[in-house]
């Protein structure tokens, strides 16, 4: 008897969820499920085409593959050449609807961290997982975009939707200058009412999470100098403390005085001596010195990650104030790179979008997606439009080992995310601007 009661309750819950889906939405769900094989086949083709950021021809090839998927759905697809920044280029695809609903920007990226010399090159399936370079970051996300748009097309909800798809070709290693590299994305953000980012789905303890914020990422370079001479005079009134002690003072003060919620600051490379040099890319520091010589120079390079523009400005000012407190006969200079990623703050508009997504989850009979801790995700392209439009990130496939050999996604996440995206976009397309 208990079994029959439980079965009845489960049937009632399923029926209730089904009733909250419109006929068009049910058709989208059916389309995603019916085209599962086609979706995985597209993922395999994308993954097996190497598109490491510096493989310009490979990035262009993936761009052509995405063009072939988007044009039949009614998108006008443009390739934006970015050779002037040292990168391949971007896809900007535009679908003109009826002009009445929310204008939506879909964001993904064509490139991966795996260059042609990586031994990790080939797509494979093992059980419930698809494994391969960039399978989650971000080729799984691009596949979710295509599957969702196909479902909307079949259900008839795509026709009236105003959508722009921007797939950058250098998300993993942005070109320079950044204002050129992200020009088209920023312009798209100013056009849009809503931005949806299709990087990896965040999953915590088996629960799908909603991403309403992402932290910034900016590098900094610290240079210190001091008087040099025989070490027997170090700390003296004439010699002072030398460049390395000044560097140590500053970095230790950062460690002690700066920590706060959602802030991290890392020192990635450091060197000091007489002399010291850093290469043009800021990746290598070479130094010479002797134990009996007070060092004349030191260099350190690191990053800073913040959650809001206000936090970013405040922390930068605090770092500069620490730098200015020089030890005797030393100097120090702190510079922040101009090509960093801004933060995507957790605004009420972003949270309202997550609430809309959770309405979709209830209609689909899926669990509610809580907010994900922004300190646990890195920077992303959506941050470049966060100041101009509401946004939601993490709408791509879910998996693990991103940026590492063995990167994988859970195949069932493709269906789940495509259904969510298709229904969410269809509902937004009906909302008046």
Which CATH number fits the domain 2-214+342-430, given the four candidates 3.40.50.620, 3.40.630.10, 3.40.50.800, 2.160.20.10? 3.40.630.10
pTM greater than 0.75 (yes/no): yes
Band (pLDDT 50/70/90 cuts) for residue 6 is very low
Mean pLDDT of 111-131: 97
Angle at 257 between CA 254 and CA 263, to 5 degrees: 75
Band (pLDDT 50/70/90 cuts) for residue 19 is very low
Q: What is the pLDDT of residues 270-319, one digit of tens each?
A: 999 999 999 988 889 999 999 999 999 999 999 999 999 999 999 999 99
**Phi, psi dihedrals of residue 418, rounded to the nearest 5°:** -65, -40
pLDDT for 170 equals 97
Every domain of the chain with CATH number 3.40.630.10 lies at 2-214+342-430
What fold does the segment set 218-336 form as a domain? Alpha-Beta Plaits (3.30.70)
pLDDT for 283 equals 85
pLDDT for 7 equals 47
Q: What is the pLDDT of residues 60-101, one digit of tens each?
A: 999 999 999 999 999 999 999 999 999 999 999 999 999 999
Of 172, 166, 169, 174, which is closest to residue 118 (Cα–Cα)?
172
Asked if 423 and 211 touch (Cβ cutoff 8 Å), the reply is no
Mean pLDDT of 133-147: 97
Q: What is the pLDDT of residues 47-64, one digit of tens each?
A: 999 999 999 999 999 999
Of 169, 24, 151, which is closest to residue 91 (Cα–Cα)?
169
Asked if 369 and 208 touch (Cβ cutoff 8 Å), the reply is yes
* pLDDT-wise least confident of 31-40, 212-221, 375-384, 404-413: 375-384
Q: What is the pLDDT of residues 156-176, one digit of tens each?
A: 999 999 999 999 999 999 999
Asked if 52 and 115 touch (Cβ cutoff 8 Å), the reply is yes
Every domain of the chain with CATH number 3.30.70.360 lies at 218-336
Asked if 132 and 56 touch (Cβ cutoff 8 Å), the reply is no
């Amino acid at each position: 008897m208990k079994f029959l009661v439980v079965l009845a309750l489960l049937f009632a819950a399923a029926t209730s969820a089904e009733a909250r889906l419109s006929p068009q939405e049910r058709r989208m769900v059916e389309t995603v499920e019916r085209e599962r094989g086609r979706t995985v086949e597209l993922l395999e083709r994308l993954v097996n085409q190497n598109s490491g950021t510096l493989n310009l021809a490979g990035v262009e090839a993936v761009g052509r593959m995405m063009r072939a998927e988007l044009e039949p759905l009614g998108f006008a697809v443009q390739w934006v050449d970015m050779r002037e920044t040292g990168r391949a280029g971007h896809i900007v695809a535009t679908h003109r609807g009826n002009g009445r609903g929310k204008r939506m920007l879909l964001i993904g990226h064509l490139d991966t961290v795996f260059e042609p010399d990586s031994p990790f090159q080939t797509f494979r399936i093992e059980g419930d997982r698809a494994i391969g370079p960039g399978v989650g970051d971000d080729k799984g996300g691009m596949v979710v975009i295509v599957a969702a748009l196909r479902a909307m097309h079949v259900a008839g909800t795509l026709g009236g939707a105003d959508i722009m798809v921007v797939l950058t070709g250098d998300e993993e290693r942005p070109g320079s200058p950044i204002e050129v590299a992200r020009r088209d994305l920023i312009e798209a953000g100013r056009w849009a009412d809503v931005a949806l980012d299709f990087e990896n789905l965040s999953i915590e303890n088996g629960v799908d999470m909603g991403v309403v914020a992402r932290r910034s990422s900016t590098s900094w370079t610290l240079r210190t100098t001091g008087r040099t001479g025989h070490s027997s005079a170090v700390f003296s009134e004439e010699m002072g403390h030398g460049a390395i002690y000044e560097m140590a003072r500053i970095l230790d003060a950062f460690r002690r005085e700066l920590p706060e919620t959602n802030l991290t600051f890392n020192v990635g490379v450091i060197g000091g001596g007489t002399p010291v040099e850093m290469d043009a890319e800021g990746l290598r520091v070479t130094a010479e010195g002797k134990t009996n010589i007070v060092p004349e120079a030191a260099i350190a390079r690191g990053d800073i990650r913040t959650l809001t523009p206000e936090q970013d400005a405040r922390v930068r000012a605090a770092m500069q104030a620490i730098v200015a407190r020089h030890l005797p006969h030393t100097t120090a200079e702190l510079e922040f790179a101009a090509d960093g990623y801004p933060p995507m703050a957790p605004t009420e508009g972003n949270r309202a979008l997550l609430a809309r997504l959770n309405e979709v989850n209830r209609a689909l009979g899926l669990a509610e997606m809580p907010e994900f801790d922004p300190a646990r995700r890195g920077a992303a392209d959506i941050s470049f439009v966060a100041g101009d439009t509401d946004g939601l990130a993490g709408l791509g496939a879910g998996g693990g080992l991103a940026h590492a050999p063995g990167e994988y996604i859970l195949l069932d996440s493709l269906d789940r995310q495509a259904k969510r995206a298709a229904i969410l976009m269809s509902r937004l397309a009906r909302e008046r601007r």
